[in-house]
């Protein structure tokens, strides 16, 4: 468990323990498969001649699991050793990917993977508070995000490429990744449960979640982090599908496999930027100076809006790298802040479950807005401006409130 520190004194324990390495490797494989599976599922839907507006529904089905399970996954993650929770969650992802391979409807199969992801998220972030001390938490988050970002990069690129060669081959590789991730989770030390459950009734779990929700929204730092990260991930999820539509519409790539591969590569480019931003955040931002991340957050919406004017691949790559870098610098400190405030109040697993509820409600709303605009025939430029403007306004309101509160407390 996390050690208590004398003020100004750092914990001498190394950051890269066996448990931390196992978490990072398992997270890499799981995130690699998650991102490859999205592009494999898109290719599968296209091969079945599904309407184009159904593609964003993949993410809608995925995030629905996070919303429905939000009251339960936090207590579940905190009531068992988190390494075992991660193993069970990756096993659920494996079942969903295997179902898609065996002919299950892609939307339903992807929803099953979402069930596993919903249980996995509170455990993978919550365990950081149990493996490292507070003074290393931002660095641990940066390593987790770095591992995830590299996985997003490779997963998107490999998923797009493999799906272009063979959808079945891509799905076989993805199911193998999930299986390996589940096995590596067994190497994580069996840490004590953070908050063992004394009651298993539905009423008790819902009451426990509502208490955690009220507690976190009653804390200014936790509320700021919940809202800030939700805006970011909603924008990131929507940007992915904007890129899938932007490539054929703007670059005039008519070959479906090539267009999907190019869109996957551009998603990977965003991931490179996020990795750079996450590394910078680990160096220049601490929990005490988290407001330094806000200017980068403000730039995200404007950069997305500027993307609507781009019609050249080289310029698109540059802009997406900058957008990703701003995102990484913005979201990593906010994640660390929520974990710390959650760990000391309701439990990190509960905090991440509440975060997942907020983030996925935002994703559901923003993706729903984009899906509706796409179905009604809005141009890709119009959709991009609308998404960027929404992000810019939301983060501006959040930043203004944060700076005003900091001024009052100065």
> Mean pLDDT, to the nearest integer, of 206-233?
89
Write out pLDDT tens, residues 115-136. 998 888 778 877 887 787 777 7
Residue 89: is its pLDDT beyond 80?
A: yes
Residue 210: pLDDT over 70? yes
39-50 tens-digit pLDDT:
999 999 988 888
- The CATH number linked to 150 is 1.20.1250.20
Percent of the chain past pLDDT 70, that is, above it, reads 93
Which of 74-78, 94-98, 199-203, 252-256 has the highest mean predicted lDDT (pLDDT)?
94-98
Distance from C-alpha of 264 to C-alpha of 159, rounded to nearest angstrom: 8
> For 282-335, how does the pLDDT look when each residue is reduced to its tens digit (9 = 90+)?
888 888 888 999 999 999 999 999 999 999 999 999 999 999 999 999 998 998
Q: Residue 8: inside a domain, yes or no?
A: no
Q: What is the pLDDT of residue 197?
A: 60
The residue written with tokens 């409807």 in the block is 105
pLDDT tens per residue, range 347-399: 766 777 788 789 888 998 998 899 889 888 889 999 999 999 999 999 999 99
Q: Give residue 240's pLDDT.
A: 87
Q: Output the pTM of the full model.
A: 0.75
Residue at 6 is within a domain: no
Question: Is 9 part of any domain?
Answer: no
Tens digits of residue pLDDT in 294-303: 999 999 999 9
Instruction: Tell me: pLDDT of 213 over 70.
Output: yes
Is 80 exceeded by the pLDDT of residue 2? no
The answer to whether residue 342 is domain-embedded is yes
Tokens 């003074």 belong to 135
Q: Give the confidence band of 196 by pLDDT, cuts at 50, 70, 90.
A: low
Nearest to 90, CA basis, from 171, 26, 37, 159: 26
Is residue 4 a part of any domain in this protein?
no
pLDDT of residue 100: 95
**Domain tally, the chain:** 1
* Range 125-154 average pLDDT: 77
- What's the rounded Cα separation, in Å, for the pair 211 and 205? 10
The residue ranking higher by pLDDT, 381 or 10, is 381
Identify whether 13 is part of a domain.
no
**Residue 5, in any domain of the structure:** no
pLDDT of residue 13: 59
Query: Which residues constitute the domain of residue 47?
Result: 18-409
More confident residue, 401 or 190: 401
Main-chain dihedrals φ then ψ at residue 311, nearest 5 degrees = -135, 15
pLDDT value for 94: 96
pLDDT above 70 for 248: yes
């Amino acid at each position: 468990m996390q050690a208590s520190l004398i003020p100004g004194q750092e914990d001498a324990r190394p950051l890269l323990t066996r448990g931390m390495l196992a978490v990072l490797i398992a997270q890499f494989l799981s995130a690699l498969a998650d991102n490859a599976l999205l592009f494999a599922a898109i290719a599968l839907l296209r091969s079945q001649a599904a309407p184009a507006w159904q593609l964003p529904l993949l993410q809608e089905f995925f995030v629905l699991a996070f919303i429905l399970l939000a009251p339960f996954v936090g207590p579940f993650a905190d009531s068992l050793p988190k390494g075992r929770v991660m193993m069970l969650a990756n096993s659920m992802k494996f079942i969903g990917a295997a179902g898609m391979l065996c002919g299950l409807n892609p939307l339903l199969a992807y929803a099953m993977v979402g069930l596993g992801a919903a249980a996995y998220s509170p455990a993978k972030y919550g365990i950081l508070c149990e493996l490292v001390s507070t003074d290393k938490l931002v660095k641990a988050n940066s390593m987790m995000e770095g591992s995830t970002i590299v996985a997003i990069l490779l997963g998107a690129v490999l998923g797009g490429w493999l799906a272009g060669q063979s959808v079945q081959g891509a799905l076989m590789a993805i199911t193998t990744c999930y299986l390996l991730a589940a096995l590596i989770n067994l190497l994580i030390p069996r840490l004590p449960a953070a908050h063992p459950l004394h009651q298993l009734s539905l009423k008790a779990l819902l009451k426990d979640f509502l208490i955690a929700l009220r507690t976190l929204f009653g804390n200014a730092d936790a509320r700021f982090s919940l809202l800030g990260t939700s805006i970011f991930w909603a924008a990131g999820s929507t940007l992915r599908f904007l890129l899938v539509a932007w490539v054929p519409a703007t670059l005039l790539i008519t070959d479906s496999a090539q267009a999907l591969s190019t869109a996957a590569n551009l998603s990977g480019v965003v991931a490179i930027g996020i990795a750079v931003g996450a590394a910078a955040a680990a160096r220049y931002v601490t929990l005490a100076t988290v407001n330094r991340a806000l200017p980068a957050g403000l730039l995200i919406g404007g950069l997305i809006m500027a993307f609507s004017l781009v019609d050249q691949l080289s310029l698109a790559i540059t802009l997406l790298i900058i957008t990703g870098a701003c995102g990484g610098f913005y979201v990593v400190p906010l994640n660390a802040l929520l974990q710390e405030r959650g760990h000391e109040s309701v439990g990190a697993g509960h905090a991440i479950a509440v975060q997942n509820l907020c983030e996925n409600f935002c994703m559901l709303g923003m993706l729903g807005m984009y899906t509706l605009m796409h179905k009604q025939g809005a141009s890709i430029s119009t959709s991009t401006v609308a998404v960027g403007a929404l992000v810019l306004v939301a983060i501006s309101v959040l930043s203004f409130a944060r700076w005003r509160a900091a001024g009052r407390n100065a």
